[in-house]
Amino acid sequence: MKVAYKDLLNLLSKKPSKDSLSKKLFQLGHEHEVNGDIFDMELTPNRGDCLSLIGLARDLGVFFDAPKAFDLYTDTIETLELDFENLSPLDCPKISFLEIEVNESKFEYQPYLKSYINLIGNKKTNLFTDISNFVSYELGQPTHCFDRQSINKKLIFENKKCNTAFQTLLGTEINLKDRNCVFSLDNEIISLAGVMGGFSTACSTKTTKVLVECAYFNPESIIGQSIKYNLVSDAAHKFERGVDIDAQEHALRRFAKVVQDHAEIKSIKLKTFSMGVFQNLTIPIDIGGINKILGTNFKKDECLSYLRGLGFGVSNKIKVPAYRHDIKTNNDLAEEIARVVGYNNIASSSINLHKIVDPNRNEKVTKIESLLTSHGFSEVINFPFTSNKETKSINIDNPLDKNRKNLRISLKDSLVDNLLYNERRQKDSIKLFELSTIYTKDTKINQQIRLGIIVSGRLANNYNDFSKKLDYKYLNKILNDNLCTNIFEINEIPRNTLPTKKKDKILYVEVSLEDIPDTIFSSIESNKKVIDFVSFKPVSEYPSSKRDFSFLIKDLNKVDEVINILDSASGEIIKNLFIFDFYKDNKKSSVKLGCRFIFQSNYKTLSDAEINEKALEIINPIIEIDGVSIPGL
Amino acid sequence: MSILDNIIPPSVINERGTLHPINQTKNYLLELLAEMGFKEIHGPEIETEEFNFDMLNIKKSHPARQMHDTFYAEGKKNVLRTHTSPVQIRSMLESKPPIAFTSAGKVYRKDDDATHLPMFHQVEGIYIDEVVTFANLKDIIHQILHKLFGDNVEIRFRPSYFPFTEPSAEVDILSEKGKWLEILGCGIVNPVVLKNCKIDPNKFSGLAFGLGVERIAMLKYGVDDIREFYKSNLDFLTQFK
């Protein structure tokens, strides 16, 4: 909700600076951004009463004195004779109608109305609709304007089952479905109550006689309606959060005053249909209770003056204003006091809980994680949604899209996707695992924590393992041999079913955590890592390039020097560097050392020239060493 | 013996793998809270409306219960939990105060854009005893944030709204760039929730707080885009060894 700083200032007795106003709004819990002279408010859903100028001014009044009242139409208003029936008073316990006729249809807008339209960014439509929006901005009470000539039959409010097309006043056609609160004329729906009026009864620039509807709708009757029909409705936003049940006639008198500022009123009539007298809630005064909640020692007079400042009635009880739907208990009042004092001004009070010693917490999980990470496996976390539907799948009633309609019943597809994703990113040694809960259904919903492991490619990027592949033997040794068990069933996932041209075997294991006996991990130590929150470096989206160099070292005293140069090689575009071959040639009394450089930029695709330049920068100092060469270079 | 036998080959470094940075952060938070006295409890990710909403004083009219915010499953009988609070509700029903629990894990909201994901992680804590005050809550939050961001971090409490706490607060820290960053939500447990859990609100009171694990991980590691955590990109994951 956008609010102009100057409008707030006009309402407050004291005149705070923009900065001071902003700080106090934060202190009161009203998050916002300040853009020039506009406060863009982001209010919590319990504070529907603050969705207006007067609402914010009422809260700010505790710091800057009570807000001034708006000018109202004060003349006597005749009673309106209206053929109206409320068939659903639970949805709408109070509703007022104002009928106004003016002499002309062309108007020069007063500066305050022009300013509202300009500053808040609403589009100018017609006088009555613009006044309706303006009054809602000032008071938080939505109104709806029917062109009076179009209300020519009995007007009915009801909550009815619908299956009909409805054209909104903006011209959008929607299909009303299920139950809706509506206004209708002889079974023709003319307004989706509390959300948006209809096209057939809307005002235009030619309208001179208007019927203004001003209601209190039960929030539960309106909630979800604008989303259901994809309508943007300020009225629904306010009704959903609750408006002031005492404010309808007040809002209509303000409406009439603004009309009066713009045109000569020919006739004016008003009628309220109310389902009873609404009593303000009262709460016994319990300052001791408030201090007990807050951990403070506030004096009674201090607390009561804060509550008065916020608009509460104070006598032998606290009388809650009708617009404060969020206040029901002493905890709510404690929050009111704390808001005025400032949460940051309430002193902390130390509290010490008993330390928990729980050495068995997740020990099995910790040991699995230690085993796998010590062998180079990286953990992934996947979303559980899938398009695959199995008999046991849990169905999502309202999925994000058709590809995410079910919950996965296995970790396999996710891990295969992860593997292929990394292969496409030129990774040639991939070891991944995931520990997640899988949900399935039969007669009830079942849950099971599963461990999924997937491998493919080279065993490792070092000269011992570079030419070896991740295979059954490797995985079996880690999982079954080390643990003296056969519970980890290793399966090959055939490549021919996957969108990939790679040939390396893909091996996969999935096992339920509860099927892994606690005892098999007795030989594994839990390596609890001390987290150090390393600073993350952005991942490049550009392709990497590799260069392999084979050094022949005839002067054996220079082997260490070569290795040291390679170990210390660094640069912005050097992604990785490892020795993939180290061979001692006894016959020639020399050493052959193969080294792979991987280059990648975070900012662009590297050219061959750039890669070669960097490679030469590293290898030149090496080949300049006597007794070291790159054969063929 | 050949001269070559004296040549020491380059050391073979067996590259360690890594736990997912979100799980590392989650475990870090849980350990931090365990040191303060909070015991970890567990519960299901598929919940009933009763435990996910009703018991937590989230009324039928609350926007969070709408189909556009919550994933419903199996004919609207169940929800994918929208927070880990129902785990605490289940444990509170089986325990007598004083209690100090943490619940952590995956939660789900019907969001999917540059800054929101349909699944993310929370760590929540609750402490209930005979007299637990807002001043105590501030102390606990200060302890947590000082451990996470250092003793000199500037902390701001703002009033907020959660149906299950009253008073409620959101807590910000001041970044190095001078911007306030929202870190966690907290409050005094609403007496309605205590009553729902068969705990006498006239005798006991409590404090509760919740942290978004992704939010903490992004700040601590300097990751700008939440989606990076779920691409399963080894270039990303292996940075968190």
Please identify among residues 175-234 of chain A the ones whose CB lies closer than 8 Å to any CB of chain B: 219-220, 223-224, 227
CA distance A141 to A57: 15
B98 preceded by a cis bond (ω within 30 of 0): yes
Same domain, yes or no: A447 and A486: yes
Question: Is some CB atom of chain A closer than 8 A to the CB atom of B62?
Answer: yes
CA of A367 vs chain B CAs: smallest distance (Å): 12
pLDDT in tens, A466-484: 899 999 999 999 888 766 6
Test A586 with B19 for CB contact under 8 angstroms: no
Same domain, yes or no: A25 and A138: no
Same domain, yes or no: A267 and A118: yes
- Using CB atoms, which residue from B22, B61, B138 is nearest to A220? B61
Same domain, yes or no: A389 and A486: yes
Chain B residues whose beta carbon lies within 8 Å of the beta carbon of residue A220: 60-61
Q: What is the CATH number of the domain that holds A456?
A: 3.30.930.10
pLDDT at A360: 44
Test A589 with B2 for CB contact under 8 angstroms: yes
Residue spans of beta strands (DSSP E) within A93-220: 94-102, 144-147, 155-167, 173-185, 188-192, 196-197, 209-216
Which regions of chain B are under pLDDT 50?
A: none
Test A381 with B74 for CB contact under 8 angstroms: no
pLDDT in tens, A559-611: 999 999 998 888 889 988 999 999 999 888 899 999 999 999 999 999 999 99
In a domain, A540, yes or no: no
Test B135 with A383 for CB contact under 8 angstroms: no
C-alpha dihedral sign at A155, A159, A163, A164: positive
Same domain, yes or no: A91 and A196: yes
pLDDT at A8: 95
Which residues sit opposite B67 in a β-bridge?
A: none
pLDDT at A529: 65
Find out whether B168 and B161 touch, Cβ atoms under 8 Å: yes
Test B235 with A540 for CB contact under 8 angstroms: yes
CA A484, chain centre distance (Å):
47
Find out whether B128 and B206 touch, Cβ atoms under 8 Å: yes
Same domain, yes or no: A519 and A562: no
In a domain, A539, yes or no: no
Tell me the ipTM for this assembly.
Answer: 0.95
pLDDT at B62: 76
Test A334 with B167 for CB contact under 8 angstroms: yes
Test B25 with A326 for CB contact under 8 angstroms: no
Same domain, yes or no: A565 and A608: yes
pLDDT in tens, A310-352: 999 999 999 999 999 999 999 999 999 999 999 999 999 998 7
- Using CB atoms, which residue from A348, A394, A430 is nearest to B139? A348
- Nearest partner of A190 among A181, A217, A83, judged by Cα: A181
Three-state SS string over A306-337 comes to HHHHCCCEECCEEECCCCCCCCCCHHHHHHHH
Q: What is the mean pLDDT of residues A493-521?
A: 90
In a domain, A533, yes or no: no
The more confidently predicted of residues A411 and A463 is A411
**Number of domains comprising chain A:** 5
Same domain, yes or no: A90 and A231: yes
Question: Is some CB atom of chain A closer than 8 A to the CB atom of B138?
Answer: yes
Please give the residue range of the domain that contains residue A32.
2-64
pLDDT in tens, A244-269: 999 999 999 999 999 999 999 999 99
Confidence (pTM): 0.90
Q: What is the CATH number of the domain that holds A148?
A: 3.50.40.10
Residue spans of beta strands (DSSP E) within chain B: 39-41, 46-48, 72-73, 78-80, 99-108, 119-129, 155-159, 165-174, 180-189, 205-212
Q: Assess whether pLDDT exceeds 80 at residue A416.
A: yes
Q: Which helix (H) or strand (E) holds B241?
A: none
Q: Assess whether pLDDT exceeds 80 at residue A105.
A: no
Q: Assess whether pLDDT exceeds 50 at residue A376.
A: yes
Q: What is the CA radius of gyration of chain A?
A: 37
| Chain B nearest-CA residue for A436 | B106
In a domain, A357, yes or no: no
In a domain, A535, yes or no: no
Same domain, yes or no: A374 and A510: yes
Q: What is the mean pLDDT of residues A604-628?
A: 92
Same domain, yes or no: A439 and A503: yes
Please identify among residues 401-420 of chain A the ones whose CB lies closer than 8 Å to any CB of chain B: 404, 407, 417-418
Record the tokens describing residue A302, joined without a space: 């201090």
pLDDT at A104: 82
**What's the maximum distance between 2 C-alpha atoms anywhere in chain A?**
118
In a domain, A353, yes or no: no
Tell me which of A526, A557, A586 is where a domain ends.
Answer: A526
| Chain A nearest-CA residue for B44 | A447
C-alpha dihedral sign at B50, A449, A363, B149: negative
Tell me which of A216, A246, A274 is where a domain ends.
Answer: A274
- Using CB atoms, which residue from B4, B16, B22 is nearest to A556? B4
What share of chain A has pLDDT > 90, as a percent? 80
Test B135 with A582 for CB contact under 8 angstroms: no
Q: Assess whether pLDDT exceeds 70 at residue A358.
A: no
Q: State the average pLDDT for chain A.
A: 92
In a domain, A608, yes or no: yes
Same domain, yes or no: A445 and A582: no
Tell me which of A250, A274, A298 is where a domain ends.
Answer: A274
pLDDT at A353: 82
Q: What is the CATH number of the domain that holds A14?
A: 3.30.56.10
| Chain B nearest-CA residue for A45 | B161
Question: Is some CB atom of chain B closer than 8 A to the CB atom of A90?
Answer: no
Q: What is the CATH number of the domain that holds A602?
A: 3.30.70.380
| Chain B nearest-CA residue for A424 | B233
In a domain, A87, yes or no: yes
Same domain, yes or no: A242 and A216: yes
Q: What is the mean pLDDT of residues A422-432?
A: 94
